[in-house]
A and B are shown apart, each in its own frame.
Chain A
Protein backbone atom coordinates (compact mmCIF):
# COMPACT_ATOMS: atom_id res chain seq x y z
CA UNK A 1 0.00 0.00 0.00
CA UNK A 2 1.21 3.44 -0.86
CA UNK A 3 2.07 6.02 1.78
CA UNK A 4 -0.95 8.15 0.94
CA UNK A 5 -4.09 6.56 -0.41
CA UNK A 6 -7.29 8.34 -1.37
CA UNK A 7 -9.97 5.82 -2.29
CA UNK A 8 -13.41 6.40 -3.87
CA UNK A 9 -13.42 9.96 -2.61
CA UNK A 10 -16.43 12.21 -3.14
CA UNK A 11 -15.56 15.65 -1.82
CA UNK A 12 -16.43 19.28 -2.37
CA UNK A 13 -17.39 22.50 -0.65
CA UNK A 14 -21.12 21.93 -0.81
CA UNK A 15 -22.85 18.77 0.20
CA UNK A 16 -24.31 16.96 -2.77
CA UNK A 17 -22.14 18.87 -5.22
CA UNK A 18 -18.80 17.06 -5.06
CA UNK A 19 -15.92 18.45 -7.09
CA UNK A 20 -14.05 15.17 -6.79
CA UNK A 21 -16.09 12.13 -7.75
CA UNK A 22 -14.87 8.60 -7.10
CA UNK A 23 -11.40 10.01 -6.86
CA UNK A 24 -8.32 7.85 -6.39
CA UNK A 25 -4.81 8.97 -5.60
CA UNK A 26 -1.77 7.22 -4.24
CA UNK A 27 1.57 8.79 -3.38
CA UNK A 28 4.70 6.94 -2.26
CA UNK A 29 6.83 7.99 0.67
CA UNK A 30 9.48 10.56 -0.27
CA UNK A 31 7.82 11.48 -3.55
CA UNK A 32 7.35 15.05 -4.66
CA UNK A 33 4.11 14.96 -6.57
CA UNK A 34 2.62 17.94 -8.35
CA UNK A 35 -1.08 18.32 -8.92
CA UNK A 36 -1.21 20.31 -12.13
CA UNK A 37 -4.29 21.77 -13.74
CA UNK A 38 -6.28 24.93 -14.44
CA UNK A 39 -8.26 26.62 -11.70
CA UNK A 40 -11.37 24.69 -10.78
CA UNK A 41 -9.88 21.34 -11.75
CA UNK A 42 -10.07 19.98 -8.22
CA UNK A 43 -6.40 20.14 -7.28
CA UNK A 44 -6.94 22.41 -4.28
CA UNK A 45 -9.97 20.33 -3.24
CA UNK A 46 -7.71 17.26 -3.28
CA UNK A 47 -5.15 19.06 -1.13
CA UNK A 48 -7.76 20.21 1.36
CA UNK A 49 -9.24 16.75 1.56
CA UNK A 50 -5.81 15.37 2.46
CA UNK A 51 -5.29 18.18 4.98
CA UNK A 52 -8.70 17.46 6.50
CA UNK A 53 -10.32 20.84 5.87
CA UNK A 54 -12.74 19.14 3.56
CA UNK A 55 -14.29 16.02 5.01
CA UNK A 56 -15.01 13.53 2.23
CA UNK A 57 -18.66 12.63 1.80
CA UNK A 58 -17.58 9.18 0.68
CA UNK A 59 -14.38 7.18 0.48
CA UNK A 60 -11.31 6.90 2.66
CA UNK A 61 -8.05 8.74 3.30
CA UNK A 62 -5.11 6.67 4.51
CA UNK A 63 -1.72 8.09 5.41
CA UNK A 64 1.15 5.86 6.51
CA UNK A 65 -1.21 2.94 6.92
CA UNK A 66 -3.51 4.78 9.35
CA UNK A 67 -7.08 5.68 8.50
CA UNK A 68 -7.34 9.49 8.54
CA UNK A 69 -10.80 9.79 6.99
CA UNK A 70 -12.47 11.21 10.08
CA UNK A 71 -9.43 12.70 11.81
CA UNK A 72 -9.85 16.49 12.23
CA UNK A 73 -7.19 18.65 10.56
CA UNK A 74 -5.54 19.69 13.84
CA UNK A 75 -4.75 16.05 14.66
CA UNK A 76 -3.20 15.13 11.31
CA UNK A 77 0.36 16.42 11.63
CA UNK A 78 0.42 17.59 8.05
CA UNK A 79 2.38 20.69 7.05
CA UNK A 80 0.48 23.16 4.94
CA UNK A 81 1.91 26.05 2.93
CA UNK A 82 -0.56 28.55 1.51
CA UNK A 83 -0.48 30.66 -1.61
CA UNK A 84 -0.75 33.86 0.44
CA UNK A 85 1.58 32.47 3.14
CA UNK A 86 -1.13 32.85 5.85
CA UNK A 87 1.41 33.96 8.44
CA UNK A 88 0.03 35.12 11.77
CA UNK A 89 0.24 38.90 11.37
CA UNK A 90 0.38 39.58 15.11
CA UNK A 91 3.25 37.18 15.85
CA UNK A 92 6.98 37.57 15.26
CA UNK A 93 8.87 35.25 12.92
CA UNK A 94 10.02 33.25 15.94
CA UNK A 95 6.52 32.92 17.34
CA UNK A 96 5.10 32.04 13.94
CA UNK A 97 7.56 29.19 13.57
CA UNK A 98 7.20 28.11 17.20
CA UNK A 99 3.39 28.01 16.99
CA UNK A 100 3.06 24.34 16.07
CA UNK A 101 5.73 23.28 18.58
CA UNK A 102 3.96 25.08 21.41
CA UNK A 103 0.74 23.31 20.45
CA UNK A 104 2.67 20.07 20.80
CA UNK A 105 3.86 21.04 24.28
CA UNK A 106 7.51 20.91 23.28
CA UNK A 107 9.81 22.21 26.04
CA UNK A 108 11.08 25.79 25.84
CA UNK A 109 14.77 25.06 25.21
CA UNK A 110 13.82 22.46 22.62
CA UNK A 111 11.60 25.00 20.85
CA UNK A 112 14.41 27.55 20.83
CA UNK A 113 16.77 25.00 19.32
CA UNK A 114 14.42 23.67 16.69
CA UNK A 115 13.26 27.12 15.59
CA UNK A 116 16.88 28.25 15.32
CA UNK A 117 17.73 25.18 13.25
CA UNK A 118 14.86 25.57 10.84
CA UNK A 119 15.43 29.32 10.43
CA UNK A 120 19.03 28.49 9.61
CA UNK A 121 17.79 25.95 7.07
CA UNK A 122 15.71 28.57 5.25
CA UNK A 123 18.43 31.25 5.65
CA UNK A 124 16.39 33.49 7.93
CA UNK A 125 18.74 33.65 10.90
CA UNK A 126 18.53 37.05 12.55
CA UNK A 127 14.93 37.68 11.51
CA UNK A 128 13.42 36.13 14.64
CA UNK A 129 11.90 39.33 16.04
CA UNK A 130 10.48 40.76 12.83
CA UNK A 131 6.76 40.85 12.18
CA UNK A 132 5.46 39.38 8.91
CA UNK A 133 4.61 42.88 7.68
CA UNK A 134 8.32 43.77 7.87
CA UNK A 135 9.36 40.97 5.52
CA UNK A 136 9.57 40.72 1.75
CA UNK A 137 7.43 38.24 -0.17
CA UNK A 138 10.24 35.72 -0.47
CA UNK A 139 11.08 35.97 3.21
CA UNK A 140 7.45 35.46 4.15
CA UNK A 141 7.37 32.37 2.01
CA UNK A 142 10.44 31.04 3.83
CA UNK A 143 8.79 31.65 7.19
CA UNK A 144 5.69 29.82 5.99
CA UNK A 145 7.89 26.90 4.91
CA UNK A 146 9.86 26.90 8.15
CA UNK A 147 6.65 27.01 10.17
CA UNK A 148 5.26 23.95 8.43
CA UNK A 149 8.41 21.81 8.40
CA UNK A 150 9.50 22.51 11.99
CA UNK A 151 6.70 20.28 13.28
CA UNK A 152 8.31 17.41 11.34
CA UNK A 153 5.12 16.61 9.46
CA UNK A 154 4.53 13.25 7.84
CA UNK A 155 3.65 15.10 4.71
CA UNK A 156 3.97 18.62 3.35
CA UNK A 157 1.19 20.13 1.26
CA UNK A 158 1.93 23.22 -0.79
CA UNK A 159 -0.88 25.19 -2.40
CA UNK A 160 0.54 27.34 -5.23
CA UNK A 161 3.23 28.57 -2.85
CA UNK A 162 5.21 30.52 -5.42
CA UNK A 163 2.49 32.20 -7.42
CA UNK A 164 2.63 35.47 -5.49
CA UNK A 165 6.37 35.91 -6.09
CA UNK A 166 8.02 37.63 -9.02
CA UNK A 167 9.79 35.51 -11.65
CA UNK A 168 13.33 35.77 -10.27
CA UNK A 169 12.32 34.97 -6.70
CA UNK A 170 10.20 32.11 -7.95
CA UNK A 171 13.26 30.48 -9.54
CA UNK A 172 15.23 30.89 -6.34
CA UNK A 173 12.49 29.48 -4.15
CA UNK A 174 12.00 26.58 -6.52
CA UNK A 175 15.64 25.63 -6.17
CA UNK A 176 15.33 26.01 -2.43
CA UNK A 177 12.28 23.77 -2.27
CA UNK A 178 14.12 21.13 -4.29
CA UNK A 179 17.08 21.34 -1.93
CA UNK A 180 14.85 21.05 1.15
CA UNK A 181 13.06 18.07 -0.28
CA UNK A 182 16.34 16.26 -0.92
CA UNK A 183 17.73 17.25 2.45
CA UNK A 184 14.66 16.27 4.48
CA UNK A 185 13.33 13.48 2.30
CA UNK A 186 9.84 14.62 3.16
CA UNK A 187 6.84 13.59 1.07
CA UNK A 188 5.40 16.62 -0.69
CA UNK A 189 2.26 17.29 -2.66
CA UNK A 190 2.51 20.44 -4.63
CA UNK A 191 -0.47 22.17 -6.23
CA UNK A 192 0.18 24.46 -9.17
CA UNK A 193 -1.24 25.63 -12.46
CA UNK A 194 2.23 26.43 -13.80
CA UNK A 195 3.63 23.55 -15.84
CA UNK A 196 7.22 24.81 -15.76
CA UNK A 197 7.09 24.82 -11.98
CA UNK A 198 5.64 21.32 -11.95
CA UNK A 199 8.20 20.04 -14.48
CA UNK A 200 11.23 21.40 -12.71
CA UNK A 201 10.26 20.33 -9.19
CA UNK A 202 8.42 17.08 -9.22
CA UNK A 203 9.33 13.46 -9.45
CA UNK A 204 5.79 12.87 -10.69
CA UNK A 205 3.10 15.07 -12.15
CA UNK A 206 -0.61 14.42 -11.91
CA UNK A 207 -2.58 16.45 -14.43
CA UNK A 208 -6.12 17.10 -13.28
CA UNK A 209 -9.20 18.37 -15.07
CA UNK A 210 -12.78 18.67 -13.87
CA UNK A 211 -12.19 16.60 -10.78
CA UNK A 212 -10.51 13.74 -12.63
CA UNK A 213 -6.93 12.66 -13.15
CA UNK A 214 -6.10 13.01 -16.84
CA UNK A 215 -2.59 11.65 -16.67
CA UNK A 216 -0.02 10.74 -14.06
CA UNK A 217 3.65 10.18 -14.69
CA UNK A 218 7.19 11.55 -14.63
CA UNK A 219 7.56 15.08 -16.05
CA UNK A 220 9.20 13.85 -19.30
CA UNK A 221 6.29 11.52 -20.05
CA UNK A 222 3.76 14.25 -19.48
CA UNK A 223 5.70 16.63 -21.66
CA UNK A 224 6.60 14.21 -24.43
CA UNK A 225 3.63 11.85 -24.47
CA UNK A 226 0.49 13.58 -23.29
CA UNK A 227 -2.13 10.87 -23.01
CA UNK A 228 -5.28 12.93 -23.51
CA UNK A 229 -6.24 15.90 -25.67
CA UNK A 230 -6.53 17.97 -22.51
CA UNK A 231 -2.98 17.21 -21.38
CA UNK A 232 -1.68 17.70 -24.90
CA UNK A 233 -3.11 21.20 -25.02
CA UNK A 234 -1.96 21.88 -21.51
CA UNK A 235 1.68 21.09 -22.29
CA UNK A 236 1.64 23.04 -25.53
CA UNK A 237 0.67 20.50 -28.20
CA UNK A 238 -1.72 23.07 -29.58
CA UNK A 239 -2.21 21.42 -32.97
CA UNK A 240 -4.39 18.40 -33.41
CA UNK A 241 -5.24 16.41 -36.52
CA UNK A 242 -7.56 13.40 -36.40
CA UNK A 243 -6.92 10.27 -38.44
CA UNK A 244 -6.90 6.47 -38.38
CA UNK A 245 -4.09 4.29 -37.04
CA UNK A 246 -2.96 2.06 -39.89
CA UNK A 247 0.13 0.43 -38.44
CA UNK A 248 1.90 0.44 -35.09
CA UNK A 249 5.52 -0.69 -34.98
CA UNK A 250 8.17 -0.61 -32.30
CA UNK A 251 9.82 2.54 -33.70
CA UNK A 252 7.07 4.14 -35.73
CA UNK A 253 3.39 4.90 -35.93
CA UNK A 254 1.55 5.25 -39.22
CA UNK A 255 -1.60 7.30 -39.41
CA UNK A 256 -3.89 7.98 -42.33
CA UNK A 257 -5.29 11.48 -42.52
CA UNK A 258 -7.69 11.92 -45.40
CA UNK A 259 -5.52 9.76 -47.65
CA UNK A 260 -2.18 11.29 -46.60
CA UNK A 261 0.12 9.12 -44.50
CA UNK A 262 1.65 10.59 -41.37
CA UNK A 263 4.54 8.96 -39.62
CA UNK A 264 5.52 9.47 -36.02
CA UNK A 265 8.79 8.00 -34.84
CA UNK A 266 7.70 8.39 -31.22
CA UNK A 267 5.21 5.66 -30.47
CA UNK A 268 3.24 6.55 -27.39
CA UNK A 269 3.25 4.03 -24.54
CA UNK A 270 -0.51 4.57 -24.42
CA UNK A 271 -1.06 2.86 -27.79
CA UNK A 272 -1.16 -0.87 -28.46
CA UNK A 273 -1.55 -3.20 -31.44
CA UNK A 274 -5.28 -3.46 -30.74
CA UNK A 275 -5.71 0.20 -31.62
CA UNK A 276 -4.89 -0.42 -35.27
CA UNK A 277 -7.82 0.59 -37.45
CA UNK A 278 -9.18 2.83 -34.74
CA UNK A 279 -9.21 6.59 -34.78
CA UNK A 280 -6.26 8.44 -33.33
CA UNK A 281 -5.28 12.06 -32.93
CA UNK A 282 -1.96 13.55 -33.95
CA UNK A 283 -0.53 16.25 -31.73
CA UNK A 284 2.37 18.61 -32.33
CA UNK A 285 3.65 21.92 -31.05
CA UNK A 286 3.41 25.11 -33.15
CA UNK A 287 7.14 25.75 -32.79
CA UNK A 288 8.06 22.29 -34.14
CA UNK A 289 6.44 22.96 -37.50
CA UNK A 290 8.09 23.97 -40.77
CA UNK A 291 6.61 26.06 -43.51
CA UNK A 292 7.26 26.55 -47.20
CA UNK A 293 9.63 23.60 -47.57
CA UNK A 294 9.63 20.95 -50.32
CA UNK A 295 6.72 18.50 -50.15
CA UNK A 296 7.92 15.30 -48.50
CA UNK A 297 7.19 13.23 -45.42
CA UNK A 298 4.45 14.55 -43.15
CA UNK A 299 3.87 17.50 -45.42
CA UNK A 300 0.69 18.83 -46.87
CA UNK A 301 -0.76 21.92 -48.42
CA UNK A 302 -2.64 24.34 -46.20
CA UNK A 303 -4.39 27.70 -46.46
CA UNK A 304 -2.90 30.55 -44.47
CA UNK A 305 -5.55 32.59 -42.68
CA UNK A 306 -3.20 35.22 -41.38
CA UNK A 307 0.37 35.68 -40.28
CA UNK A 308 1.68 37.75 -37.45
CA UNK A 309 5.27 38.97 -37.37
CA UNK A 310 6.76 38.81 -33.87
CA UNK A 311 10.39 39.76 -34.35
CA UNK A 312 12.36 36.53 -33.99
CA UNK A 313 9.51 34.45 -35.22
CA UNK A 314 6.35 34.63 -37.25
CA UNK A 315 3.11 33.12 -36.15
CA UNK A 316 0.76 31.60 -38.71
CA UNK A 317 -2.86 30.63 -38.38
CA UNK A 318 -3.92 28.13 -41.03
CA UNK A 319 -6.42 25.48 -41.70
CA UNK A 320 -6.33 22.02 -43.16
CA UNK A 321 -9.85 20.91 -43.92
CA UNK A 322 -11.76 21.59 -40.75
CA UNK A 323 -8.64 21.57 -38.51
CA UNK A 324 -7.34 24.96 -37.40
CA UNK A 325 -3.55 24.85 -37.05
CA UNK A 326 -0.94 27.16 -35.61
CA UNK A 327 2.72 27.42 -36.52
CA UNK A 328 5.52 29.47 -35.05
CA UNK A 329 8.46 29.64 -37.43
CA UNK A 330 11.73 31.60 -37.25
CA UNK A 331 12.14 34.55 -39.59
CA UNK A 332 9.89 36.95 -41.43
CA UNK A 333 6.53 36.02 -42.94
CA UNK A 334 6.80 34.31 -46.30
CA UNK A 335 5.60 36.72 -48.95
CA UNK A 336 4.97 34.76 -52.13
CA UNK A 337 1.68 36.38 -52.94
CA UNK A 338 -0.47 33.32 -52.41
CA UNK A 339 -2.19 32.05 -49.32
CA UNK A 340 -1.35 28.44 -50.03
CA UNK A 341 1.80 26.91 -48.62
CA UNK A 342 3.34 23.61 -47.62
CA UNK A 343 3.29 22.77 -44.00
CA UNK A 344 5.30 19.93 -42.51
CA UNK A 345 6.08 18.35 -39.20
CA UNK A 346 9.19 16.21 -38.59
CA UNK A 347 8.24 12.59 -37.68
CA UNK A 348 10.08 12.82 -34.35
CA UNK A 349 8.06 15.86 -33.31
CA UNK A 350 4.57 14.49 -33.72
CA UNK A 351 2.81 12.02 -31.47
CA UNK A 352 -0.25 9.91 -32.02
CA UNK A 353 -2.64 9.16 -29.21
CA UNK A 354 -5.98 7.41 -28.92
CA UNK A 355 -8.62 9.49 -30.61
CA UNK A 356 -11.37 11.38 -28.90
CA UNK A 357 -14.76 9.98 -29.51
Chain B
Protein backbone atom coordinates (compact mmCIF):
# COMPACT_ATOMS: atom_id res chain seq x y z
CA UNK B 1 0.00 0.00 0.00
CA UNK B 2 1.39 3.40 -0.96
CA UNK B 3 1.30 6.02 1.73
CA UNK B 4 -0.57 9.00 0.48
CA UNK B 5 1.30 12.15 -0.48
CA UNK B 6 -0.67 14.26 1.97
CA UNK B 7 0.39 12.02 4.84
CA UNK B 8 4.05 12.35 3.87
CA UNK B 9 3.71 16.12 3.44
CA UNK B 10 2.21 16.64 6.90
CA UNK B 11 4.82 14.40 8.50
CA UNK B 12 7.66 16.21 6.75
CA UNK B 13 6.31 19.56 7.94
CA UNK B 14 6.01 18.27 11.48
CA UNK B 15 9.64 17.20 11.52
CA UNK B 16 10.87 20.42 9.94
CA UNK B 17 8.89 22.26 12.59
CA UNK B 18 10.39 20.13 15.35
CA UNK B 19 14.02 20.14 14.22
CA UNK B 20 14.31 23.40 12.24
CA UNK B 21 14.60 25.64 15.30
CA UNK B 22 17.66 23.71 16.46
CA UNK B 23 19.42 24.35 13.16
CA UNK B 24 18.54 28.03 13.49
CA UNK B 25 20.21 28.18 16.88
CA UNK B 26 23.38 26.56 15.55
CA UNK B 27 23.58 28.92 12.58
CA UNK B 28 23.23 32.08 14.65
CA UNK B 29 25.70 30.88 17.29
CA UNK B 30 28.55 31.28 14.76
CA UNK B 31 27.39 34.60 13.35
CA UNK B 32 29.77 37.51 13.73
CA UNK B 33 26.76 39.84 13.73
CA UNK B 34 25.82 41.09 17.18
CA UNK B 35 22.15 41.30 16.28
CA UNK B 36 20.51 38.12 15.17
CA UNK B 37 20.01 38.37 11.47
CA UNK B 38 19.17 35.80 8.85
CA UNK B 39 21.11 34.70 6.92
CA UNK B 40 23.99 34.94 9.42
CA UNK B 41 27.08 36.84 8.37
CA UNK B 42 30.66 35.79 8.96
CA UNK B 43 31.95 33.10 11.25
CA UNK B 44 33.18 33.38 14.80
CA UNK B 45 33.55 31.25 17.89
CA UNK B 46 33.55 34.28 20.13
CA UNK B 47 29.98 33.79 21.39
CA UNK B 48 31.01 30.42 22.71
CA UNK B 49 33.98 31.96 24.47
CA UNK B 50 31.72 34.64 25.91
CA UNK B 51 29.06 32.18 27.06
CA UNK B 52 31.65 30.03 28.81
CA UNK B 53 33.25 33.03 30.44
CA UNK B 54 30.20 34.60 32.00
CA UNK B 55 30.61 33.85 35.69
CA UNK B 56 26.89 33.61 36.40
CA UNK B 57 26.47 30.86 33.80
CA UNK B 58 29.34 28.92 35.33
CA UNK B 59 28.00 29.29 38.87
CA UNK B 60 24.45 28.39 37.93
CA UNK B 61 25.61 25.44 35.85
CA UNK B 62 27.08 23.94 39.01
CA UNK B 63 23.91 24.69 40.96
CA UNK B 64 21.85 22.92 38.27
CA UNK B 65 24.25 19.99 38.17
CA UNK B 66 24.30 19.53 41.93
CA UNK B 67 20.56 20.02 42.33
CA UNK B 68 19.93 17.58 39.50
CA UNK B 69 22.22 14.88 40.85
CA UNK B 70 21.05 15.19 44.46
CA UNK B 71 17.37 15.42 43.62
CA UNK B 72 17.61 12.51 41.19
CA UNK B 73 19.47 10.35 43.70
CA UNK B 74 16.89 11.11 46.38
CA UNK B 75 13.99 10.50 44.01
CA UNK B 76 15.52 7.15 43.03
CA UNK B 77 15.95 6.11 46.66
CA UNK B 78 12.31 6.95 47.32
CA UNK B 79 10.94 5.77 44.00
CA UNK B 80 12.54 2.35 43.52
CA UNK B 81 10.95 0.82 46.65
CA UNK B 82 7.59 2.36 45.74
CA UNK B 83 7.78 0.97 42.21
CA UNK B 84 8.72 -2.43 43.61
CA UNK B 85 5.81 -2.40 46.09
CA UNK B 86 3.35 -1.42 43.39
CA UNK B 87 4.45 -4.16 41.01
CA UNK B 88 4.81 -6.99 43.52
CA UNK B 89 2.09 -6.34 46.06
CA UNK B 90 -1.61 -5.81 46.14
CA UNK B 91 -2.80 -3.94 49.15
CA UNK B 92 -5.73 -1.91 50.39
CA UNK B 93 -5.62 1.74 49.37
CA UNK B 94 -3.21 1.04 46.53
CA UNK B 95 -5.18 3.23 44.14
CA UNK B 96 -5.10 6.20 46.50
CA UNK B 97 -1.40 5.83 47.13
CA UNK B 98 -0.65 5.51 43.43
CA UNK B 99 -2.55 8.75 42.92
CA UNK B 100 -0.47 10.41 45.64
CA UNK B 101 2.76 9.16 44.07
CA UNK B 102 1.83 10.44 40.64
CA UNK B 103 0.36 13.75 41.79
CA UNK B 104 3.60 15.78 41.63
CA UNK B 105 3.45 15.12 37.89
CA UNK B 106 -0.09 16.48 37.67
CA UNK B 107 0.16 19.55 39.91
CA UNK B 108 1.74 22.42 37.94
CA UNK B 109 5.46 22.74 38.70
CA UNK B 110 5.09 26.48 39.27
CA UNK B 111 2.57 25.84 42.01
CA UNK B 112 4.83 23.27 43.67
CA UNK B 113 7.67 25.78 43.74
CA UNK B 114 5.37 28.54 44.90
CA UNK B 115 3.96 26.41 47.73
CA UNK B 116 7.41 25.35 48.90
CA UNK B 117 8.50 28.98 48.90
CA UNK B 118 5.48 30.15 50.89
CA UNK B 119 5.56 27.30 53.36
CA UNK B 120 9.21 26.61 53.96
CA UNK B 121 11.10 29.70 53.15
CA UNK B 122 8.65 32.12 54.74
CA UNK B 123 7.12 30.02 57.48
CA UNK B 124 10.00 27.74 58.50
CA UNK B 125 12.80 29.98 57.36
CA UNK B 126 14.81 27.25 55.69
CA UNK B 127 17.39 28.24 53.04
CA UNK B 128 16.00 28.62 49.56
CA UNK B 129 18.47 26.04 48.14
CA UNK B 130 16.91 23.35 50.31
CA UNK B 131 13.52 24.31 48.90
CA UNK B 132 14.96 24.01 45.40
CA UNK B 133 16.28 20.54 46.15
CA UNK B 134 12.99 19.41 47.72
CA UNK B 135 10.90 20.78 44.88
CA UNK B 136 13.03 19.04 42.25
CA UNK B 137 12.93 15.78 44.21
CA UNK B 138 9.13 15.98 44.37
CA UNK B 139 8.67 16.34 40.60
CA UNK B 140 11.27 13.65 39.80
CA UNK B 141 9.66 11.16 42.17
CA UNK B 142 6.75 10.13 39.91
CA UNK B 143 9.20 9.95 37.02
CA UNK B 144 11.44 7.42 38.74
CA UNK B 145 8.45 5.39 39.95
CA UNK B 146 7.07 5.20 36.43
CA UNK B 147 10.30 4.25 34.66
CA UNK B 148 11.40 1.73 37.29
CA UNK B 149 7.90 0.20 37.37
CA UNK B 150 8.07 -0.27 33.61
CA UNK B 151 11.31 -2.20 33.84
CA UNK B 152 10.17 -4.20 36.87
CA UNK B 153 7.05 -5.23 34.99
CA UNK B 154 9.26 -7.00 32.47
CA UNK B 155 11.10 -8.88 35.18
CA UNK B 156 9.41 -12.15 36.10
CA UNK B 157 8.48 -12.58 39.73
CA UNK B 158 9.32 -16.29 39.42
CA UNK B 159 13.02 -15.48 39.21
CA UNK B 160 12.83 -13.77 42.55
CA UNK B 161 10.90 -16.67 44.04
CA UNK B 162 13.54 -19.05 42.70
CA UNK B 163 16.17 -17.10 44.65
CA UNK B 164 14.05 -17.24 47.79
CA UNK B 165 13.46 -20.97 47.42
CA UNK B 166 17.24 -21.37 47.21
CA UNK B 167 17.67 -19.65 50.55
CA UNK B 168 17.72 -15.89 49.91
CA UNK B 169 15.75 -13.62 52.18
CA UNK B 170 13.39 -11.35 50.21
CA UNK B 171 15.77 -8.45 50.89
CA UNK B 172 18.81 -10.37 49.67
CA UNK B 173 16.90 -11.58 46.61
CA UNK B 174 16.05 -7.96 45.80
CA UNK B 175 19.70 -6.90 45.81
CA UNK B 176 21.19 -10.10 44.34
CA UNK B 177 18.63 -10.88 41.66
CA UNK B 178 16.18 -8.03 41.06
CA UNK B 179 18.44 -4.98 40.99
CA UNK B 180 21.12 -6.43 38.66
CA UNK B 181 18.42 -7.35 36.17
CA UNK B 182 16.69 -3.98 36.09
CA UNK B 183 19.98 -2.10 35.89
CA UNK B 184 19.25 -0.60 32.51
CA UNK B 185 15.87 0.61 33.74
CA UNK B 186 17.54 2.20 36.75
CA UNK B 187 20.12 3.97 34.61
CA UNK B 188 17.41 5.11 32.21
CA UNK B 189 15.37 6.47 35.12
CA UNK B 190 18.40 8.29 36.45
CA UNK B 191 19.26 9.90 33.12
CA UNK B 192 15.67 10.89 32.33
CA UNK B 193 15.11 12.31 35.80
CA UNK B 194 18.38 14.22 35.75
CA UNK B 195 17.62 15.78 32.36
CA UNK B 196 14.16 16.73 33.61
CA UNK B 197 15.68 18.46 36.62
CA UNK B 198 18.44 20.10 34.64
CA UNK B 199 15.96 21.62 32.18
CA UNK B 200 13.32 22.54 34.71
CA UNK B 201 12.15 26.13 35.00
CA UNK B 202 8.68 26.18 36.63
CA UNK B 203 9.66 24.59 39.95
CA UNK B 204 12.89 26.58 40.18
CA UNK B 205 11.16 29.85 39.30
CA UNK B 206 10.09 30.65 42.84
CA UNK B 207 12.90 28.75 44.55
CA UNK B 208 15.69 30.86 43.15
CA UNK B 209 16.59 34.36 44.08
CA UNK B 210 19.52 36.67 44.45
CA UNK B 211 22.56 34.49 44.81
CA UNK B 212 20.86 31.18 43.98
CA UNK B 213 19.75 30.40 40.45
CA UNK B 214 19.76 27.45 38.13
CA UNK B 215 21.19 27.64 34.63
CA UNK B 216 17.84 27.83 32.79
CA UNK B 217 16.64 30.57 35.15
CA UNK B 218 19.89 32.46 34.60
CA UNK B 219 19.49 32.11 30.83
CA UNK B 220 15.97 33.50 31.07
CA UNK B 221 17.04 36.55 33.00
CA UNK B 222 20.03 37.11 30.69
CA UNK B 223 17.64 37.11 27.73
CA UNK B 224 15.57 39.84 29.36
CA UNK B 225 18.51 42.25 29.10
CA UNK B 226 20.70 41.13 26.21
CA UNK B 227 19.84 40.30 22.66
CA UNK B 228 22.95 38.71 21.14
CA UNK B 229 24.03 35.22 20.07
CA UNK B 230 25.54 34.33 23.47
CA UNK B 231 22.39 32.41 24.31
CA UNK B 232 22.61 30.71 20.89
CA UNK B 233 26.07 29.49 21.76
CA UNK B 234 25.07 28.35 25.22
CA UNK B 235 21.94 26.65 23.89
CA UNK B 236 24.02 24.92 21.22
CA UNK B 237 26.33 23.52 23.88
CA UNK B 238 23.38 22.27 25.92
CA UNK B 239 21.70 20.76 22.87
CA UNK B 240 24.86 18.95 21.78
CA UNK B 241 25.39 17.57 25.28
CA UNK B 242 21.76 16.44 25.43
CA UNK B 243 22.04 14.74 22.04
CA UNK B 244 25.18 12.89 23.13
CA UNK B 245 23.63 11.72 26.40
CA UNK B 246 20.26 10.80 24.91
CA UNK B 247 21.69 9.04 21.87
CA UNK B 248 24.19 6.97 23.85
CA UNK B 249 21.49 6.14 26.39
CA UNK B 250 19.22 5.09 23.53
CA UNK B 251 21.96 2.89 22.01
CA UNK B 252 22.87 1.29 25.30
CA UNK B 253 19.54 1.11 27.11
CA UNK B 254 16.80 1.81 24.60
CA UNK B 255 15.74 4.81 26.63
CA UNK B 256 12.90 5.70 24.25
CA UNK B 257 10.66 2.96 25.60
CA UNK B 258 10.68 4.66 29.00
CA UNK B 259 9.96 8.24 27.89
Complex interface: chain B residues within 8 A of A78 (CB): 165
Q: Which residues of A contact B168 (CB under 8 A)?
A: 74, 99, 103
Q: Is A80 an interface residue (CB 8 A)?
A: yes
Contact indicator B167/A89 (Cβ below 8 Å):
no
Which residue of the partner chain, among A73, A83, A84, A90, contacts B181 with CB atoms under 8 Å?
A90
- Could you tell me which B residues sit within 8 Å of A by CB distance? 90, 156, 158-159, 161-170, 172, 177, 180-181
Is A99 a contact partner of B163 (Cβ separation < 8 A)?
A: yes
Give 10 nearest A-B pairs by CB, closest first: A103-B167, A100-B166, A86-B158, A80-B165, A86-B162, A90-B180, A86-B159, A82-B158, A74-B164, A73-B164
Q: Can you offer 16 A-B residue contacts whose CB atoms are under 8 A?
A: A14-B90, A72-B169, A76-B165, A77-B167, A84-B156, A84-B158, A86-B158, A86-B161, A86-B162, A88-B159, A90-B177, A99-B166, A99-B168, A100-B167, A103-B166, A147-B162
* CB of A246, distance to nearest CB on chain B (Å): 54
Which residues in A have some Cβ–Cβ distance to B below 8 Å?
A: 14, 51, 53, 72-80, 82-84, 86-90, 99-100, 103-104, 144, 147-148, 151
In the complex formed, the residue of A with least CB distance to B160 is A86
A222 to B74 CA separation, bound complex (whole angstroms):
60
Measured CB to CB, the nearest residue on chain A to B165 is A80
Give the shortest distance, in Å, between B88 (CB) and chain A (any CB).
12
Neighbour of B161 across the interface among A53, A87, A99, CB < 8 A: A53
Q: Which residues of B contact A82 (CB under 8 A)?
A: 158, 161-162
Interface centre among A72, A75, A80 (most CB of B within 10 A): A80
Assess the A151–B167 pair: CB atoms within 8 A.
yes
The answer to whether A151 and B166 have CB atoms under 8 Å apart is yes
Q: In the assembly, what is the distance between CA of A99 and CA of B168, in Å?
A: 9
Give chain A residues whose Cβ lies under 8 Å from the Cβ of B166: 74, 99-100, 103, 147-148, 151
Specify the chain A residue showing the minimal Cβ separation from B173: A74
Chain A residues lying within 8 Å of B161, measured Cβ to Cβ, are: 51, 53, 73, 80, 82, 86
Assess the A88–B165 pair: CB atoms within 8 A: no
- Specify the chain B residue showing the minimal Cβ separation from A51: B165
Find out whether the CB atom of B164 lies under 8 angstroms from the CB atom of A86. no
Complex Cα spacing A290 to B136, Å: 80
Let me know if A89 and B159 touch, CB within 8 A: yes
B26, chain A: closest CB distance, angstroms: 42
By a CB distance below 8 angstroms, the chain B residues around A89 are 159, 181
B172: A residues at CB distance < 8 A: 103
How far, in whole Å, are A72 and B163 apart by their CA atoms in the complex?
Answer: 13
| Apart from A74-B166, A148-B165, 16 more pairs, CB < 8 Å | A51-B161, A53-B161, A72-B169, A74-B170, A75-B167, A77-B167, A78-B165, A79-B165, A82-B158, A84-B156, A86-B156, A88-B163, A103-B168, A103-B172, A104-B167, A144-B162
